[in-house]
């Protein structure tokens, strides 16, 4: 069993998705406190392990289909560098170990971590073959990351942020489906049967609905009275231009550059998008931490 093959199968480049566990930490104003920060870092590591478990399971289940894909055929299990049995054993050990460690962050965090793993197992074997439910399931995985991050430090997660999270996740999931459909062309259904249920036009319509809904929800969140009272500022709306540019830039990459198959790869390789996300995060932290809002109490 090759350690390098296992590491590649865990897809470290995809772990940026797990940064969502820090959202509650930053917006509860505990970002620079040692205790909550360490708990959030531990939660991030555990979700990296859990997501790696999911990737291994997916590669074992989809090994034959991946061999038909121009890029996925190079993955260790599909290429033969790692046997399906070794992949399955590694996934079982890693998954059980991460769940056991999750108990150290409390029952609530453990529950969300378990739900995340069960949801992805259900997706791998059932949900990915059900039209529309497949992208909803992928999006719910992002929501579970966010609420697990809040549970790790025992604070509440805003309902508005939950809405924004699932809408943004839907936007990314639908864009991923569109890229798969257009890049694989006539062979799309052979690689993933569910793609036969979609068309570029249908996906474009769904992306348009989700895009406008996501922007509207974020605008409402930044201007809501609850948000103003929590952070004692009305300047959070100043971050809206970064969100607008980020979504428009992503749409540009999907439609004009035929990217979007991997949101993590797009984020890490597209300079303007990466800069925009960094500026948005810096602006958010600067606005939140330079005003006198009271931090959310640890332990609710």
Tens digits of residue pLDDT in 246-282: 999 999 999 888 887 778 888 888 999 999 999 999 9
Tens digits of residue pLDDT in 152-171: 999 988 888 899 999 999 99
In a domain, residue 299? The reply is no
**The pLDDT of residue 205:** 96
Compute the distance between CA of residue 213 and CA of residue 85 in angstroms, rounded to an integer.
Answer: 43
In a domain, residue 164? The reply is yes
What is the average pLDDT score of the chain?
A: 89
In a domain, residue 89? The reply is yes
Number of domains in the chain: 1
In a domain, residue 122? The reply is yes
Sorted by sequence, the CB contacts under 8 Å of residue 8 that are 6+ apart come out as 75, 76
**The pLDDT of residue 241:** 96
Phi and psi for 56 in degrees, rounded to 5? -60, -45
Q: At what angle do helices 159-184 and 240-256 cross, to 10 degrees?
A: 10
Closest CA to 160 of 143, 137, 141, 180: 143
CA 268 to chain centre: 14
Which segments within 21-152 are labelled E, that is strand?
A: none
pTM of the model: 0.89
DSSP 240: H
Tens digits of residue pLDDT in 91-148: 999 999 999 999 999 999 999 999 999 999 999 889 989 999 999 999 999 999 999 9
For 166, half-sphere exposure in the C-beta direction (CA atoms, 13 angstrom radius) is 12
In a domain, residue 295? The reply is no
Structure tokens at 137: 């399931």
What Rg do the C-alpha atoms of the chain give, in angstroms?
20
Compute the distance between CA of residue 77 and CA of residue 66 in angstroms, rounded to an integer.
Answer: 9
SS3 32: coil
**The pLDDT of residue 81:** 82
6 pLDDT band (50/70/90 cuts)? confident
**The pLDDT of residue 294:** 58
Angle at the Cα of 189 from the Cα atoms of 213 and 68, rounded to 5 degrees: 115
Segments forming the whole domain that contains residue 205:
3-289
Q: Are 283 and 260 in contact (CB under 8 A)?
A: no
In a domain, residue 298? The reply is no
CATH number at residue 20: 1.10.357.140
Q: Are 68 and 195 in contact (CB under 8 A)?
A: no
The yes-or-no verdict on residue 36 having pLDDT over 80 is yes
Average pLDDT over residues 216-242: 92
CB atoms within 10 A of CB 292: 7
Q: At what angle do helices 200-223 and 240-256 cross, to 10 degrees?
A: 170
In a domain, residue 8? The reply is yes
Q: Taking the chain, what is the end-to-end CA distance rounded to the nearest angstrom?
A: 46
**The pLDDT of residue 80:** 78
72 pLDDT band (50/70/90 cuts)? confident
199 vs 296, more confident: 199
Tens digits of residue pLDDT in 166-224: 999 999 999 988 988 887 766 555 567 888 899 999 999 999 999 999 999 999 999 99
In a domain, residue 65? The reply is yes
């Amino acid at each position: 069993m090759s350690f390098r093959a296992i590491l590649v199968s865990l897809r470290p480049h995809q772990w940026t998705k797990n940064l969502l566990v820090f959202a509650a930490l930053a917006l509860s104003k505990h970002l620079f406190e040692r205790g909550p920060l360490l708990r959030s870092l531990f939660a991030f590591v555990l979700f990296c392990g859990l997501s790696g478990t999911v990737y291994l399971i997916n590669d074992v289940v989809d090994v034959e289909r991946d061999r038909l894909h121009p890029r996925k055929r190079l993955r260790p299990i599909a290429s033969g560098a790692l046997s399906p049995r070794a992949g399955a054993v590694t996934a079982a050990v890693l998954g059980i170990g991460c769940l056991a460690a999750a108990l150290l962050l409390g029952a609530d965090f453990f529950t969300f971590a378990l739900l995340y793993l069960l949801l992805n197992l259900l997706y791998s074997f059932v949900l990915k073959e059900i039209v529309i439910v497949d992208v909803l399931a992928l999006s719910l995985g992002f929501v579970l990351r966010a609420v697990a991050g809040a549970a790790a430090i025992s604070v509440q997660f805003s309902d508005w942020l939950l809405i924004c999270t699932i809408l943004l996740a839907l936007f990314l999931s639908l864009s991923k489906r569109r890229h798969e459909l257009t890049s694989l062309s006539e062979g799309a259904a052979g690689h993933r049967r569910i793609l036969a249920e979609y068309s570029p036009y249908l996906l474009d319509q769904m992306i348009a609905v989700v895009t406008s809904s996501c922007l509207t929800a974020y605008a409402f969140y930044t201007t809501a009275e609850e948000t103003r009272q929590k952070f004692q500022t009305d300047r959070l709306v100043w971050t809206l231009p970064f969100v607008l540019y980020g979504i428009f830039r992503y749409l540009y990459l999907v439609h004009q550059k035929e990217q979007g198959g991997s949101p993590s790869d797009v984020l890490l390789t597209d300079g303007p998008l990466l800069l925009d996300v960094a500026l948005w995060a810096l602006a958010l932290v600067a606005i939140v931490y330079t005003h006198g809002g009271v931090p959310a109490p640890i332990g609710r």
